[in-house]
Structure 1
Amino acid sequence: MVFTVRGTPIGALTVFIAVLASMGGFLFGWDTGQISGLLIMSDFKERFAQGPPGEKAFNTWIEGVIVSLLSVGTAFGVMLGAPIADFFGRRRAMTIECIVFNLGVIIQVTAFHAWYQLAIGRFVTGLGVGALSAAVPMYQSETVPRQVRGALVGTYQLFITFGILLAYATNIGTNQYDGSAQWRVPIGLGIAFATILGVGILFCPESPRWLASQGREEEAMASVAAVRAAKLGDGNPWVEAEFKDIIDSIREDEKREKAGWIDCFKPANKTLYRTLLGITLQAGQQLTGANYFFYYGTQIFGSVGISDPFVTQIILGGVNFGCTFLGLYVLERFGRRIPLIVGAAWMSAWLFVFAIAGTVAGPEITDPAIGKLLIVSACLFILAYASTWAPGIWIFIGESFALRTRAKQAALATLSNWVWNFLISFFTQPISADIHYAYGFIFAGANLANFFIAYFFVYESSDLSLESVDEMYNDAACKPWNSRKWSPAGHASRDQVRDKEAQQGVEVGQWSKSPSAMAGDEAEKEREPPNPL
C-alpha cells in the first residue's frame, strides 16, 4: 500500500515502523502510569508499606525511592543506549533493551515483602526504558521519509501518553481483585508489551543511515526503498535522491576521526551548541510542570467532589492522550519553533492562573468556583503541553544532530530529561506538602524561560532532510529567528522544495544504477538526476 504526502510516495511500512518503534515510549508510559495506582492498592500496602497490619502506610522517602528509581535506571540506560545502538544497530539494540526491561519486570513480580526488591526491579526496567528512549526517536528519524518525520517521530510521545492512560485503566480493573493479583497483573503485563516490540522490530528494515555508515550500501538503499514502497533498482527518484544524500553525508563523516563523547562538546560545526540546546530543551520539558499536575491531580479534583483517585487519573490521562493527537498535526503543519514558543507562553499563563487561584484560596479548597478554575487551568495547561512540548522535544532530538555524533548527543540530551524526571518525582511530594499551590509559580517561571530559549536558540528543521538540517546549522548566515526561511542550495524556499516534489513525477526513472555504482563512480556526478529533495 502506498500513500502520497506532498506529492511524495510513502509506504504503509513507514507508518508500521513508527507505531511499532513507539512501543518503547509505551513501556515508559506504562511503568510511569501504574506506580501511583499500585501505591494505594490494599495488598500492595500490606506487603510493602510500614506500620502495624491493617494500618500500613508508606514512609514518604521510601515511597519516593520506589517511584523515582525508575528514573535513576533510565538515566544510566540512556547513556548505554548510544553505544549499544551504534554497535549493534538500531533494531537489535531495541531487542536487547526489551530483554532488560523484561528482567526488571520479573524481579518486581517475584517480590513478596521486600519493598527494595520492587525498587531494584524498577531500576532495571528503567535501564531498558532509558536505552529505548535514546534508540527509538533516532531510529524513527533516520528511517522514515522527512515528509512525515515530524508526525511519525511524534508518535513516541503519543505512545507514552497511551501507556499512562492504559495503565490507569488497568489499575481500575485490577484494584477489584483479591490478593497480589491487584498489582502483579499490571506489572506483569509489561512483558507482553516489551515482547511485541523486541520481536516485531526485527522484521522491520534497519536504519539506512546506520547501514551506510557500516559500509552496507546495498542494504541501505533497500531500506530506503522499503519505506517508500518502491522496488530496489526500479529507478525511483525519491529513493535515489535520498540515498545519494545519505552517502554524501557518510563520506563527509569518514573524513573525520571516529566520534567520542568529548566530540559532542566541541564547538566546530555547532556541535557544542546543539548538545547544550538538546540538554536544555529536555530539562525544559520536565520543568514545564506536567508531572506536578499528575501528582496534584487527586487534591485538585477532590475540591469539586471527585474523590476517587483512579477516576482523577483517568481524567488527566485522557486529556493528555487526546491532546497529543493535536500535537502530531500542529508540529507537522506549523513546524517546530512556533509550537514550542506559543506552547511555552500558553503553559506559563495558565500555571500563573492555577498558582494564584490556589494560593489565594489556601491549601484546602472549599469554594467550588475556585475548584472549577483549577480544573480548567489544569486541562488547558495539559492541552498546550501535550500538543507542543511533549512531542516536540522528542522530534527535535531525533532530527537536529549530525550523523557522526547523533547517538551520543541524543543520549546526553535524554539523560537530562531523566535526571530532571527523577528530581521532580522524588522531591515534588515534600515540596508541595510545604508550599502547596505556590509550587506552580516555579513551573510558570520555568515556562517563561522555555519561551525565550525556544525563540532565541531553536532552529526550524521541518521539511528538511537530516543532512540538510546539519547544513542549516553550519550556515553562518542562518539564525534561529530566520531559520524558517532557510532552504537547501538550489531552492529559493522550502515551499519551492514542496512544489517541486508535487510536480516531479518519475521523469528520472531512467536512473536505476546500483548503490555501489552511484556511490563509487565520481564521473557520474556530472549526470546527477534532478533532486526532488
Structure 2
Amino acid sequence: MALFYVEGLPIGWIAIMLAVLASMGGFIFGYDTGQISDILLMEDFRIRFANYCGTPGDANTCSFTVVREGLIVALLSIGTLAGALIGAPVADWLGRRYAMTVECGVFMVGVLIQITAFHSWVQFAIGRLISGLGVGSLSAAVPMYQAETAPPQIRGTLTATYQLFITFGILVAYCISIGAREIGGSGSWRTVVGIGLAWPLILGIGILFMPESPRWLIAHGRHDDARRSIARTRGVPIEEADHHRFVHRELEEMQSAIEFESKEKVGWVECFNPRRKSLYRTLLCMTLQMFQQLTGANYFFYYGATIFQSVGISDSFVTQIILGAVNFVCTFGGMYVMERFGRRYPLIIGGVWQSIWLFVFAAAGTARDPTTDKGIGKLMIVSACLFIFGYAMTWAPGIWILIGETFPTRTRARQAALATASNWLWNFLLAFFTPFITKAIGYRYGFIFAACNLTGAVIVYFFLYESSDLSLESVDMMYCDPTCKPWTSRTWAPEGFSSRKELVEQSRAAEAHKPLEAGGGEESRYEHHAAEKTV
C-alpha cells in the first residue's frame, strides 16, 4: 500500500527506507571526516604520534609537522579515490546492494587497523587509507542505487539524503569527540574511532533487506525481480505488480532504454565517447565534483578546530559543533530547495552566496589579527557559518543528486565512479596541501575559494541541464536533444509534451484516471504506444 502520493503518483515506505538506509554510506564518510579534526588536538594522540615532544608525556610541547598532519588527514582521500574507481565494476558485478555490504566490510578493516595502532602514525594513516577504499566505493554506489531505485517524483529529495547523512555524520563525530576528550589515555581517540564500527554494520546488514535496483535487474535479465522491486518502492502489493499500470509503464520505459543501450559494447572508453554527449556529461560532472571541493567546505571540516583555535576561540571543539549543526540543519533546507527549485538556480545562487562570505572571512582575517581583535574573530566565525549555510542548502546536496541522475544506464556506474573519483582527488589535494598553503598565505586562502565558487556558478549556467521532474531515461533524451541548451533546459519535456509543466499535470491526471484535454492525457498516450508495440 502506498505511504503517500506525490503529484498524484504513489510512493511506498520502502522508497523512503532504502534512501535513508543507503545514506548510511554518507554518514560513514561524514563521521570519518569530522572525527580527524578533533583527534589531531587530543593529548594522548599528540603524545603518541606527533613529530616533536619537548617534554615526554606533555602534550602541550608536542606538535605535528605539516607533512605528517597532511598525510594523516589526506590518506583517507587517496583510498576513496581508488575506491570510487573500483566501486563501479564491483557494483555492476555484484549488484548495488551486495557491493555496499562488501564495501562496509573493507571500511571496518581500516577502522580495526587504526584502533590497534600504539606508537606508529604510519599504521594509523594506513588504516585511514583502507577505510577510504570502503568510503570511496560507497560514494559511487549509494547515489547510483538511490537514483536508480527512487521514484522520479522524489528522486532529488531521496538522493539528497546522502549529503544530509554526511552532515549528520560530521555533527555526530564532533559531539562524540567533545565527550571522549575527557577519557584518560588512548581511550579518548580510540573511542571516537572505534564507534565508527557501528555504522557499516547497520548499512551492510540492513541494505540486504531492501530491493535491488530495478535497472540493474533488467540489465541482467531479471525482469520479474525488477517488477517486484518497482512495486515495493511504489507501495503496490506484489500480487498486483503484473497488472498495475504505473509499474508496467516504468518497467517498459527502463526495458526500452536498456535494450537500446545494450546494442553497443560498453567499457571505460565509452565514458569519453562524444556520441550522445557521454564525454560532455563525464567532464561536466567531474568538473562539478571538483568545484564542490573547491568551495572550501572541507577547509573548515578537516581543519576547523585548528582554524578556530587560531582566531582566539578558547574551546574550538564547541565551535566545531556549532558549525556542524549549521551544516546539518541547513541540509534539510537544501533537500527542499533542490526539489522545489530544480538544480541550476540553487547552484548558481549558492555559488555567488558562498563567494561573498568567503571573501568576508578572508578579508577580515587578512586586515586584522583575529587572535588580538575579538570582534574580527567573531566576524570570521559568523561568515564561516553563513558560508556553510549556503553550501548545505545548494552545492552540498546538489552535486550528489546530479551524479545519480545525469548519466545513461549503460555507463552510469563508470561515469559516476569517474565523477566521484574527481571529488576524492581534489579532496586529497586540499586536505594534504592546506597546512602548507595556510602557513604561507594565512587567511588569504579564502580569496582563492571565493573565486572558485564564482567560477562554479558560471559553469553551471553555461553547461548544466535542468534534470528535475524527469525520469532518468528522459534526462538522457534531453542531453541528446540538439535543440535543447542548458539555459533553456528548464522548460524541456519528453516528446509528446509541450512543456515540463504539462508533463507533471498529465502524470497527475493519469493517476486520477482523468486524461487532460490538452494533448489527450499521458495514460492514453501510454496505451496508444503499448497498442502500437503489440501490433
Q: Deviations over 1:130-172 (max 9, x none)?
A: 0000000000000010100001100000100100100010011
CA distance in 1 between partners of 2:142 and 2:396 (Å): 15
Alignment of 1:260-299 (within 5 A): 260-294=267-301, 297-298=304-305
SS in 2 for 1:4: strand
**Where does residue 245 of structure 2 map in the other structure?**
237
**Where does residue 474 of structure 1 map in the other structure?**
480
CA distance in 1 between partners of 2:219 and 2:333 (Å): 36
**Where does residue 506 of structure 2 map in the other structure?**
500
CA distance in 1 between partners of 2:469 and 2:129 (Å): 38
CA distance in 1 between partners of 2:133 and 2:302 (Å): 23
1:91 positional shift = 0.3
**Where does residue 524 of structure 2 map in the other structure?**
none
CA contact (8 A) 1:274 1:401 kept: yes
Alignment of 1:12-23 (within 5 A): 12-23=13-24
SS in 2 for 1:490: coil
Please point out which of 94, 101, 104 is paired with 1:95: 101
Measured on the aligned residues, the alpha-carbon RMSD in Å equals: 1.8
SS in 1 for 2:4: strand
1:118 corresponds to 2:124: yes
What one-letter code is carried by the residue in structure 1 that aligns with 2:8?
G
Alignment of 1:39-438 (within 5 A): 39-52=40-53, 53=56, 54=58, 55-232=61-238, 234=240, 235-257=243-265, 259-294=266-301, 297-298=304-305, 301=308, 306-362=313-369, 364-438=370-444
CA contact (8 A) 2:168 2:328 kept: yes
CA distance in 2 between partners of 1:370 and 1:185 (Å): 35
**Matched residues, percent identical?**
59
CA contact (8 A) 1:11 1:227 kept: yes
CA contact (8 A) 2:407 2:415 kept: yes
What one-letter code is carried by the residue in structure 2 that aligns with 1:158?
L
SS in 2 for 1:492: coil
1:493 positional shift = 1.3
Please point out which of 480, 488, 492 is paired with 2:494: 488
CA distance in 1 between partners of 2:530 and 2:245 (Å): 16
After superposition, the Cα gap between the structure-2 partners of 1:432 and 1:491, relative to the gap in structure 1 and judged at 3 Å, is same
CA distance in 1 between partners of 2:287 and 2:499 (Å): 30
CA contact (8 A) 1:81 1:134 kept: yes
What one-letter code is carried by the residue in structure 2 that aligns with 1:101?
F
Please point out which of 449, 453, 478 is paired with 1:443: 449
CA distance in 2 between partners of 1:32 and 1:487 (Å): 40
1:56 positional shift = 2.6
CA distance in 2 between partners of 1:447 and 1:124 (Å): 31
Q: Deviations over 1:446-498 (max 9, x none)?
A: 11110110000000000000000000000000000000010011111121121
CA contact (8 A) 1:95 1:198 kept: yes
CA distance in 2 between partners of 1:104 and 1:281 (Å): 29
Runs of 4+ in 1 over 6 A off after TM superposition: none
What one-letter code is carried by the residue in structure 2 that aligns with 1:64?
G
Q: Deviations over 1:4-30 (max 9, x none)?
A: 111111001111000000000001011
CA distance in 2 between partners of 1:164 and 1:505 (Å): 41
Q: Name stretches of at least 5 consecutive residues in structure 2 with no aligned partner.
A: 515-527
CA distance in 2 between partners of 1:429 and 1:491 (Å): 54
Q: Deviations over 1:246-269 (max 9, x none)?
A: 010111012112x11111111000
Q: Deviations over 1:327-360 (max 9, x none)?
A: 0000000000000111011111221222222211
SS in 2 for 1:154: helix
CA distance in 2 between partners of 1:91 and 1:525 (Å): 36
CA distance in 2 between partners of 1:336 and 1:27 (Å): 26
What one-letter code is carried by the residue in structure 1 that aligns with 2:25?
G
CA distance in 1 between partners of 2:388 and 2:181 (Å): 27
**Where does residue 515 of structure 1 map in the other structure?**
none
**Where does residue 525 of structure 2 map in the other structure?**
none
After superposition, the Cα gap between the structure-2 partners of 1:32 and 1:218, relative to the gap in structure 1 and judged at 3 Å, is same
1:300 positional shift = 6.0
SS in 2 for 1:9: strand
CA distance in 2 between partners of 1:472 and 1:273 (Å): 13
After superposition, the Cα gap between the structure-2 partners of 1:164 and 1:501, relative to the gap in structure 1 and judged at 3 Å, is same
CA distance in 2 between partners of 1:523 and 1:374 (Å): 60
**Where does residue 531 of structure 1 map in the other structure?**
none
CA distance in 2 between partners of 1:253 and 1:382 (Å): 40
CA distance in 2 between partners of 1:346 and 1:80 (Å): 36
CA contact (8 A) 2:19 2:159 kept: yes
What one-letter code is carried by the residue in structure 1 that aligns with 2:183?
Y
TM-score (norm 2): 0.93
